[in-house]
Homo-oligomer: A and B are copies of this chain.
Amino acid sequence: MTSGVRPLKNTVIIAVGSELLTPYKVDTNSLFLTKRLNALGLVVRRKMVVGDNREELASAVREAASHADLVVTTGGLGATDDDVTRDAVASVFGLVLEEDPEVVSYIRSRFQARGFEMPEINRRQALIPEGAAILRNSRGTAPGLWIERDDVAVVLLPGPPRELRPLFDQVAEERIKGRTDGEQIFRRTLVIAGRTETHVEELTQPVYSEWMKQVPIVQTTILASLGQIELHLSTRHASEQSAVARLDGATEELANVLGRNLVSRDGESLESVVGGLLRTHGFRVAIAESCTGGLVTSRLTDVPGASEYIDAGWTVYSNEAKVRLLGVDAGTIEQHGAVSEAVAEAMAVQARERSNVDYGIGVTGIAGPGGGSKEKPVGTVCLGLVGPDKDVRVRTVRFPGERERVKFQASQAALDMLRRALLR
């Protein structure tokens, strides 16, 4: 901590933009900012979203300043009447706005580089509150601003992520780092598949509740998302080495109770973990999908380097396609129905044989909303897996929710089935 300069710890983030108060858009810049602020040791106390309104924003900044050492605003630095952030913040601290000739030249040069004259309206972006430090924006015309008054620092950043991110990193390096209390927040994310939130809580709560009694405290949050559970651990510490050792130990304790339900210890996605296992073993996979419609294959190919272990995938939606294109026996479909473990098995076996790889996956089910019956309601999905030993595994699961949720959960179950087989 630099001596003589007030330390920074508590942060409030304010996202500015009327579109963020509609039913269509959430602020996500704050996720990036929180990650970066936490890594620097700062805590986010509150987030706010306000529209493009000078008075509303001014009162939000005033309230934020009373709770925080650092206020970060995003958005509202454009050139139109709707862009009120400069004005609002200046009014809170009673600062006069003055046009900065260097900023005007910079904006003009950006336009000229593209062969345009600078529209007069863009001069607004060069209006700088007195005493503010200017953060040069290499990706846009609006500079960021740093204002420090009345025991609070306020940083104004543009809304577009590609402009905001480098500007925040710049201001973090130049003005935030070295002004914390020396402690940083360290995090770890454990991904768990194949178990419900309640089950994960029952397994892990006896472990993590002990950590609240120890120093440094490790805080644990359980977040359930579609088809997986995440455990987020965090600890505040001045020493990176000690914090990492503490989190390593905590993770190990959880890994012991979670066993093979633990997908990853560092937030790595299921598809990426499966890809890594395939690569490690030098195995390749082929996938035949009905109800998931290509989603399993698409998720596996989201991982860079997937061409090493994916050969081919079939989406065989109709019975005819299952028979004619993939070679599933028509009699098997006739006898057991298209949604059956027998057909899932046949799809897996055909996918593997036709593409001459190590593993074959077959997924067939009823994604809904139509097509359900009393015996096989919407959400029923049959999964088949066949590996190098030609052992076949099949499962039938019933997933809740609407079509897209059923598809996603089925793809998650298929990938997790392959993961568990690769761990054996």
In the complex, the answer to whether A369 meets B304 with C-beta atoms within 8 Å is yes
CB closest chain-B residue, reference A404: B302
Contact stretch, chosen from A18-26, A85-93, A117-125, A129-137: A18-26
Q: Are B35 and A223 in contact (CB under 8 A)?
A: no
A393 interfacial by beta-carbon distance below 8 Å: no
A302 touches B306 (CB 8 A): no
For A367, list chain B residues within 8 Å (CB).
301
A274 to chain B, nearest CB (A): 14
**A339 vs B368: C-alpha distance when bound (angstroms):** 36
Which of B232, B295, B318, B368 lies in contact with A311, CB distance below 8 A?
Answer: B318
Q: How far is the CA of A232 from the CA of B17 in the complex (A)?
A: 14
A318:B307 contact, CB within 8 angstroms:
yes
Contact of A295 among B18, B27, B294 (CB under 8 A): B294
Residues of A contacting B: mostly: mixed
Q: How far is the CA of A370 from the CA of B30 in the complex (A)?
A: 31
Chain B hits for A316, CB < 8 A:
312
A221 and B307 within 8 A (CB): no
Contacting residues, chain B, for A27 (C-beta < 8 A): 26
Considering the chains assembled together, what is the distance between the CA atoms of A417 and B355 in angstroms? 30
Chain B nearest CB from A63 CB (Å) reads 5
Report chain B residues within 8 Å CB of A310.
293, 315, 317
Indicate if A390 sits at the interface (CB-CB under 8 A): no
Give the complex CA separation of A232 and B47 in angstroms: 25
A397 beta carbon closer than 8 Å to chain B = no
Q: How far is the CB of A163 from chain B (nearest CB, A)?
A: 14
A179 interface contact, C-beta 8 A: no
* Given A46-B56, A404-B302, A22-B311 contact (CB < 8 Å): no
Q: Which residues of B contact A301 (CB under 8 A)?
A: 292-294, 315, 317, 367, 407
Interface size on A, residues (CB 8 A): 74
Cα–Cα, bound, A26→B18 (Å): 18
Q: Does A396 touch B at the CB level, under 8 Å?
A: no
A293 touches B304 (CB 8 A): no
The verdict on A105 contacting chain B, using a C-beta distance below 8 Å, is: no
CB contacts (< 8 Å) of A332 on chain B: these are none
A180 within 8 A of B: no
* Across-interface contacts of A63 in B (CB, < 8 A): 63
| Beta-carbon contacts under 8 Å, A7-33 to B | 18-28, 30-32
In the bound complex, residues from chain B placing their C-beta under 8 Å from that of A289 are 294
Q: A21-B44, A22-B234, A293-B297 are in contact. List 17 more A-B contacts (CB 8 A).
A: A19-B221, A19-B232, A21-B45, A22-B221, A26-B28, A26-B30, A45-B50, A46-B56, A47-B49, A293-B306, A294-B295, A297-B315, A310-B315, A311-B320, A312-B318, A315-B315, A325-B355
Of the A-B pairs whose beta carbons lie under 8 Å apart in the complex, a sample of 13, sorted by A's number, is A19-B223, A21-B34, A24-B31, A26-B30, A26-B31, A289-B294, A292-B301, A293-B302, A293-B310, A294-B313, A298-B407, A313-B314, A314-B314
Chain A interface (Cβ < 8 Å from any Cβ of B): 18-28, 30-32, 34-35, 38, 44-51, 56, 59-60, 63, 67, 187, 189, 221, 223, 230, 232, 234, 287, 289, 292-298, 300-302, 304-307, 310-318, 320-321, 325, 354-355, 367-370, 403-404, 407
